[in-house]
Chain A
Amino acid sequence: MTHAGAGEDRTLPRSLAAHRTASIVAGLCGSIFLLFLVAPIARLVAGGGTSGVSALFTDAELRGALWLTAVTATLAMAAGALGGTPLAYLLARRSFRGKAVVAAVLDLPLLIPHPVAGIALLLILGRESAVGRVLLHAGIQVAGSPVGIVCAMVFVSAPLYISAAREAFARVDPRYESVARTLGDPAWRAFRRVTLPLSMRGLIAALVVMWARAVSEFGAIVILTYNPKVASVLTFDRFTGFGLTEALPVAAVLSILALIPLVALRALRPDHGAGMDV
């Protein structure tokens, strides 16, 4: 930017042209990238959308799989919110010895190949393990049940929630919380009345990502619980058993239906957060 009045006439058009070129290049890059992300799903929906939607009325196994997916992914998301929110808050607000290690360890499940994650969960929660024996005593078998599905989903998706929730908390100025504390609010009340509403948009976005990741999980689930089948497992089954014509509708209808809660949650923007730059 130039401040000299004499130079302005000559340099402005040039910077404007550079700005335009940059815009076009960025626009092109963005467009190609957007297409890369959207085109496969568009192709999927174009290829199997109609038959997928009509299969919703005729195919009870498909309805069952979609329903099971929705319920288990929502339970996984709720478990992530309950267990992950305190962790995310701790990591955002407190400094303690070994914090970097804890944060890194929480990212580990993202690194592990999913079938390996399934086996690892089986070793910890299976009927031969200490936890598994206690659960079995209480009548809960992890492998081969919806409990196994939820466990697999939480394991692979919670790190995404914690990492995003931590950022959401970090963006709220701690001074607001301090003010509430000086006005006599105990810590929990200050969190609930100040930090939580201010970070709500970020937290919801984090939950959306977690839910979506849970819906898409296959590798860990198929080790723990092949039956009853979630939508991802049913897609694999139909493809292996009957080929693309049977698999496309399942995949398409999953994409279409998953879009509804995603859009709804993204649209949910509490007014409290409107002023924050999130």
Chain B
Amino acid sequence: MRIRSLVPVVLAVAASCNKPAPKSGESAGGTAGSGGAIVVYTAASVAIPIRAALDTFAAREHVTVQQENGGSLDIARKLTELHEIPDVVVLADYHVFPNLLMPEQTTWYADFARNRMVLAFTDKSKFATEVDSTNWPKILQRPGVELGRANPDLDPNGYRTLLTLQLAEQYYEQPGLYGRLMKLSPAKNVRPKEADLVGVLQAGEFDYIWSYESLAEAAKLRYITLPSAIDLGTPGDTDMYAKASVKVAGKTRKDTLTIKGEPIVYALSIPKTAPHPQAAEQFVAFLLSPEGRALMHATRLDALGTPVIIGTGEPASVRAAASAQ
């Protein structure tokens, strides 16, 4: 074939395609799911409890469900930048809703579960037989221990690790502990999000990783429960947590955002343009109902006794399920 004959055709096709890109919210942005499946974007650290709830729901309602797991910010970017809209969004930090998704993508969110920071390890980890919830700061500082953590600029677990370490310095009254523990997990021991650390820990490259209790349970890792004053898991210790704060990257690379310590709260919502709003509503109502809460507890997720809805415009069935006892 002659190349010359190709060129004009290419140019013609290219010219006809050269229309402005569709704007956010237009139908051309597309939906994440296909056919009748309801699509749930889930923070990786609660992937397994949400999967269990989805499976129960799917069997009962005879619907197909599709779960996509990722980092909370990753998920938010899929909606805001790529205009891929799922039916339900479940995030590891409720702040991501007001910071990135409201009011364009949704007008409300429901806090529904707690989690706590833990120090996870395996049988192969150095000093695995000695470590416990009181001596861990010393054990971690022994030579040769590799400690992994998530990127604080990209992942809630990453900045929560820094907050926990700051609180540990105050709690154990050991000035300089934060700096010493940070030196133990330099840039080379950082991975994008906490779920990425698990495989590296299991491969033996890390001895210990900072993680969530739900994730350590789901991945069947051994873990150390930290004092409640530093694990960001106890609402009663909110005042204590507020004494810690870290600076992370803001909305652009030039901004920084100060994050204060507070209890870890998971939240979910249904996007305004969810492709299957009815099924999404049904699922969220199920998850927030007493039955859904019990199911989450059974899969080792610390579901709130009474889910809390923030914002306006939530479906009536969701509000009713959340307040039912």
**Chain A residues engaging chain B, CB cutoff 8 angstroms:** 23-24, 26-28, 30-32, 34-35, 39, 42, 115, 119, 122-123, 126-129, 141, 143-145, 222-223, 225-228, 236-246
B192 interface residue, CB < 8 Å from A? yes
Interface string of B57-74 (1 = CB under 8 A from A): 000000000000001011
Interface residues of B in 243-260 (CB under 8 A from A): 249, 251-253
Interface string of B139-169 (1 = CB under 8 A from A): 0000000100001011000000000000000
Check B6 against A30 for contact (C-beta < 8 Å).
yes
Check B205 against A246 for contact (C-beta < 8 Å).
no
Interface string of B1-23 (1 = CB under 8 A from A): 11001100110011001000000
Distance between Cα atoms of A242 and B250 in the complex (Å): 8
Check A28 against B252 for contact (C-beta < 8 Å).
no
Check B6 against A144 for contact (C-beta < 8 Å).
no
B187 interface residue, CB < 8 Å from A? yes
**Which residues of chain A are within 8 angstroms of B71 by Cβ–Cβ distance?**
240
B17 and chain A: residue at smallest CB distance: A39
Query: Shortest CB–CB separation between residue A66 and chain B, in angstroms?
Result: 17
Distance between Cα atoms of A30 and B9 in the complex (Å): 9
Check B203 against A126 for contact (C-beta < 8 Å).
yes
Distance between Cα atoms of A129 and B204 in the complex (Å): 9
**Which residues of chain A are within 8 angstroms of B37 by Cβ–Cβ distance?**
none
Check A31 against B73 for contact (C-beta < 8 Å).
no
**Which residues of chain B are within 8 angstroms of A31 by Cβ–Cβ distance?**
6, 9-10, 13
Given A222-B192, A226-B190, A241-B249, the answer on whether A27 and B5 have CB atoms closer than 8 Å is yes
Check B205 against A242 for contact (C-beta < 8 Å).
no
B203 and chain A: residue at smallest CB distance: A122
Query: Shortest CB–CB separation between residue A157 and chain B, in angstroms?
Result: 22
Query: Shortest CB–CB separation between residue A31 and chain B, in angstroms?
Result: 4
**Which residues of chain B are within 8 angstroms of A239 by Cβ–Cβ distance?**
77, 81
**Which residues of chain B are within 8 angstroms of A222 by Cβ–Cβ distance?**
191-192, 196
B124 interface residue, CB < 8 Å from A? yes
Interface residues of B in 65-94 (CB under 8 A from A): 71, 73-74, 77, 80-81
Distance between Cα atoms of A59 and B110 in the complex (Å): 39
Quick one: which of A141, A144, A227 has the most chain B CB within 10 A?
A144
**Which residues of chain A are within 8 angstroms of B80 by Cβ–Cβ distance?**
243
**Which residues of chain A are within 8 angstroms of B1 by Cβ–Cβ distance?**
23, 26-27, 30
B228 interface residue, CB < 8 Å from A? no
A116 and chain B: residue at smallest CB distance: B199
Query: Shortest CB–CB separation between residue A116 and chain B, in angstroms?
Result: 9
Quick one: which of A123, A128, A222, A240 has the most chain B CB within 10 A?
A240
Check A226 against B203 for contact (C-beta < 8 Å).
no
Ordered by A's residue number, 9 sampled pairs between the chains whose C-beta atoms are within 8 Å are A31-B13, A35-B13, A122-B205, A123-B203, A128-B124, A144-B188, A242-B253, A244-B81, A246-B253
Candidates B10, B154, B203; contact of A34 at CB < 8 Å: B10
Check B189 against A240 for contact (C-beta < 8 Å).
no
Quick one: which of A35, A122, A145, A226 has the most chain B CB within 10 A?
A226
Interface string of B260-293 (1 = CB under 8 A from A): 0000000000000000000000000000000000
Query: Shortest CB–CB separation between residue A40 and chain B, in angstroms?
Result: 11
Query: Shortest CB–CB separation between residue A22 and chain B, in angstroms?
Result: 9
Distance between Cα atoms of A145 and B205 in the complex (Å): 13
Distance between Cα atoms of A35 and B124 in the complex (Å): 52
Candidates A119, A123, A225, A226; contact of B192 at CB < 8 Å: A226
B200 interface residue, CB < 8 Å from A? yes
Check B203 against A35 for contact (C-beta < 8 Å).
no
Check B73 against A240 for contact (C-beta < 8 Å).
yes
Candidates B10, B81, B146, B187; contact of A227 at CB < 8 Å: B187
Given A35-B13, A35-B14, A39-B14, the answer on whether A240 and B192 have CB atoms closer than 8 Å is yes
Candidates B73, B187, B189, B191; contact of A241 at CB < 8 Å: B73
Check B6 against A240 for contact (C-beta < 8 Å).
no
Distance between Cα atoms of A243 and B81 in the complex (Å): 6
Given A143-B205, A241-B154, the answer on whether A32 and B77 have CB atoms closer than 8 Å is no
Since A241-B249, A242-B251, A242-B253 are in contact, a sample of 9 more A-B pairs with Cβ atoms closer than 8 Å, ordered by chain A residue number, is A27-B9, A30-B1, A30-B6, A128-B204, A129-B204, A223-B196, A240-B192, A241-B253, A246-B252
**Which residues of chain A are within 8 angstroms of B2 by Cβ–Cβ distance?**
23
Candidates B151, B153, B188, B203; contact of A128 at CB < 8 Å: B203
B70 and chain A: residue at smallest CB distance: A240
Given A27-B1, A144-B189, the answer on whether A35 and B17 have CB atoms closer than 8 Å is yes
Distance between Cα atoms of A241 and B5 in the complex (Å): 45
Distance between Cα atoms of A242 and B73 in the complex (Å): 9
**Which residues of chain B are within 8 angstroms of A225 by Cβ–Cβ distance?**
188
**Which residues of chain B are within 8 angstroms of A32 by Cβ–Cβ distance?**
13
**Which residues of chain B are within 8 angstroms of A127 by Cβ–Cβ distance?**
146, 204-205
A36 and chain B: residue at smallest CB distance: B13
A145 and chain B: residue at smallest CB distance: B188
